[in-house]
Amino acid sequence: MNTGDWRKAETAARYRPSWPIGTPAATAEAETATARRLWRPLMTARLAVALALLGLEGLGWLAGQTPSWVVALCVGFAALAGLGLSLPPPAAGAAAGSARWLVTVWADLLVFGLLEAFAPGGLNFTPLFVWPVLLAAVLGPRLLALGTASAATLMLLARAWQLEPAAGNAAWLQAAVTGTGLLVVALLASHLTARLAGEAAAARRSRAQAQLQAEVNRLIANALGEGIVVAGADARPRYVNPAAARMLGVDDTSGSPDELAERVAHSVAWRPLAQWLRPAGAPAAPAVRDLALPRPDGCAQRVRAQLQTARGPDDTRTHILLLQDLHALEQRVHTEKLAAMGRVSAAVAHEIRNPLAAIAQASALLQEDDPSPAQRRLLTLIEQNVRRLNRTIDDVLEAARNPLPDGGREGGHATLALDATVDALLEEWLQQRPQGARLQRQRGAADTRVTFDAEHLRRVLTNLLDNADRHASGAPGAIRVETARQGERATLVVWSDSAPIEPPLREHLFEPFASSHSRSSGLGLYLSRELCRRYDADLTHEAAHRHGRAGNAFVVSLPAS
């Protein structure tokens, strides 16, 4: 507990009510609720005191020993007590002379003073003065409590002066002792109230911080890709994050955490895990298992489960399960292997280039010696393979390049007219690979400009056209190049009537070295997508039909300038 809170509260309590001390302004509603909780019990006790006093004096009036004005005074006191019970608590910082204190503390003090001074019958009403002092010390500022105790002391001294001829010094001594006790009660009650209020404020702040931390933990757990399951000693889940629910075959992750945990508890995948968590199977030390969990669709979900068991103060056990999708782990390992292969390939490509240049130079020198037709065919074959190897090396080195800064976006490029640029690049490609009626062009992006480097757009379009030329049929319209404008985006589509891409290859279509062609490096689509991403564009594949023919479309989506 932070003891500094109640000391600060005690210092401020002289001029502020004791119950809200130490709480920030943001908890004004909580302060009002606290005041209401204190106000009603104290006002109820005040009404009980008033009714008991009225009953006592009423019996004396019936016996002829109490005058009527005393009963009337007690009736008025009971009415004020009932009124105080129906009123709201005083506002924080209310002055000592405010209306709420006039009808409570000061009214009580006046009633008890009148009864002490003028009520016949020899009754001693001095103990009643403790009540308004306590009321002021608990609900009001310390200044009000000390003022109430001082006023009560003055009344007792006045009563001692009134009784001096008969009681002598004993009345003065009694008044002084009682007044001193009232001042001590005011100080102690105000001090204890301030201290308790400071502790309550610290508890409220701790509770708010704990709730905030719990909310942060919940958000972090919900955003994790790994599954987290917290289960009790009875092997029933108490908390399940969405990733764990999906691994356990529960696709509906909506609702409260309790509802999600209940859905997981009734899933078929939870049964083998529950068997593992039961006392006979749960290990004392952390354990790791690779499990194939059944799913509602009949398939199996391969997960790696790590179990840790924690024991509470009362020796109750709590199981914490960390679940990882084995398929995702394998994909991550595969990606890391690809990255390592890329670095190795780049190093190998650098080493190959020098001997390859020597082979090209030797081939060129042999061409100058007037070779025979058979030798010329062999030299042509050598030159073709040298060019092919050079192109593969260029692709490997481009794939190994580091991304550009600022997310890979190159700056300073002029915008291009999409239709005109595609037409120029297509004409250049057709000079190398004439197609005739096999290739058709459809323009739909007139006056549309995009931000893209012309050389990079040439490489992307050339890669897509080379793939289409390699896999399309020889029928007219087997290859189509289309441009279009769709809102704020422009699209460039290269479609061919090639055979459907098999699912295993389609899943890795844009990964490095993924190719179904033996003479391809498998880097063309990967590099094309990387080039597109430098300009906030994207390259995707989709199965599409054109004029009733099935085929494959590669779509480049670009932001229109």
User: Domain of 345: which CATH number?
Assistant: 1.10.287
Mean pLDDT of 162-182: 77
pLDDT at site 401: 62
Q: Express each pLDDT in 326-335 by its tens digit.
A: 888 887 887 7
pLDDT at site 427: 92
Confirm whether 211 is domain-assigned: no
CA–CA gap between residue 224 and residue 66 (Å, rounded): 80
Same domain flag for 305 and 195: no
Mean pLDDT of 137-160: 83
Structure tokens at 28: 């004004």
**More confident position, 492 or 408:** 492
Same domain flag for 458 and 537: yes
pLDDT at site 426: 92
CA–CA gap between residue 445 and residue 523 (Å, rounded): 29
User: Domain of 530: which CATH number?
Assistant: 3.30.565.10
Q: Give the end of a domain, one of 295, 329, 363.
A: 329
Q: In which band, very low, low, confident or very high, does the pLDDT at 555 lie, cut at 50, 70 and 90?
A: very high
Mean pLDDT of 416-445: 90
Burial 63-99 (b: 16+ CB within 10 A, else e): eeebbeebbebbeebbebbeebeeeebbebebebeee
Mean pLDDT of 92-108: 77
Pairing between strand 415-417 and 317-325?
A: unpaired
- Whether 304 has a pLDDT exceeding 80, the answer reads yes
Partner residues linked to 542 by β-bridges: 553
Residue type, 261: A
Mean pLDDT of 21-30: 45
Measured torsion, CA atoms of residues 132, 136, 142, 146, in degrees rounded to the nearest 10: -20
Confirm whether 213 is domain-assigned: no
Same domain flag for 351 and 365: yes
Confirm whether 544 is domain-assigned: yes
pLDDT at site 551: 92
- Whether 284 has a pLDDT exceeding 60, the answer reads no
Confirm whether 215 is domain-assigned: no
Q: In which band, very low, low, confident or very high, does the pLDDT at 152 lie, cut at 50, 70 and 90?
A: confident
Geometric angle at alpha carbon 399, from 459 and 540, rounded to 5°: 60
Structure tokens at 523: 């880097």
Q: Strand, helix or coil at 450?
A: strand
Confirm whether 217 is domain-assigned: no
Least Cα distance to 65 among 123, 127, 129 occurs for 123
Same domain flag for 303 and 425: no
DSSP assignment string, 369-385: T---HHHHHHHHHHHHH
Same domain flag for 134 and 170: yes
Angle between helices 169-223 and 130-139 (to 10 degrees): 30
Q: Give the end of a domain, one of 359, 389, 406.
A: 406
Most confident of 7-11, 442-446, 489-493: 489-493
Confirm whether 419 is domain-assigned: yes
Mean pLDDT of 356-375: 83
Ordered alpha helix ranges (H), 163-278? 164-167, 169-223, 242-247, 257-265, 270-277
Mean pLDDT of 77-102: 79
Same domain flag for 226 and 347: no
CA–CA gap between residue 469 and residue 429 (Å, rounded): 11
Contacts of 199 (CB under 8 A, 6+ apart): 1, 5, 6
The number of folded domains in the chain is 4
DSSP assignment string, 472-509: S-SSTTSEEEEEEEETTEEEEEEEE-PPPPPHHHHHTT
DSSP assignment string, 383-412: HHHHHHHHHHHHHHHHHHSPPPHHHH---S
Ramachandran bin of 545, using left for φ above 0, alpha for ψ from -120 to 50, beta for the remaining angles: beta
Q: pTM of whole model > 0.75?
A: no
Same domain flag for 88 and 157: yes
Residue type, 493: V
pLDDT at site 7: 47
User: Domain of 284: which CATH number?
Assistant: 3.30.450.20
Same domain flag for 234 and 252: yes
Same domain flag for 347 and 380: yes
Range of the domain at 182: 4-206
Same domain flag for 402 and 348: yes
Confirm whether 508 is domain-assigned: yes
pLDDT at site 20: 43
Write a three-state SS string for 85-122.
HHCCCCCCCCCCCCHHHHHHHHHHHHHHHHHHHHCCCC
Structure tokens at 515: 């190719």
CA–CA gap between residue 127 and residue 105 (Å, rounded): 15
Same domain flag for 548 and 523: yes
Please return the burial class of 7, using the count of CB atoms within 10 Å of its CB with bins 0-12, 13-18 and 19+.
middle
Q: Give the end of a domain, one of 354, 382, 406.
A: 406
pLDDT at site 400: 62
CA–CA gap between residue 371 and residue 381 (Å, rounded): 14
Same domain flag for 16 and 37: yes
Q: Express each pLDDT in 252-274 by its tens digit.
A: 888 888 888 898 888 888 988 88
Measured torsion, CA atoms of residues 512, 513, 519, 524, in degrees rounded to the nearest 10: -10
- Mean pLDDT of all residues in the chain? 80
Structure tokens at 354: 């020098």
pLDDT at site 19: 42
The DSSP code for 27 is G
Burial 352-382 (b: 16+ CB within 10 A, else e): eeeebeeebeebeeeeeeeeeeeeeeebeeb
Confirm whether 214 is domain-assigned: no
Q: In which band, very low, low, confident or very high, does the pLDDT at 449 lie, cut at 50, 70 and 90?
A: very high
CA–CA gap between residue 411 and residue 413 (Å, rounded): 6
Half-sphere exposure of 180 (CA within 13 A, CB side): 6
pLDDT at site 17: 45
Residue type, 182: L
Mean pLDDT of 260-289: 79
Measured torsion, CA atoms of residues 305, 309, 310, 315, in degrees rounded to the nearest 10: 150
- Whether 250 has a pLDDT exceeding 90, the answer reads no
Q: Strand, helix or coil at 266?
A: coil
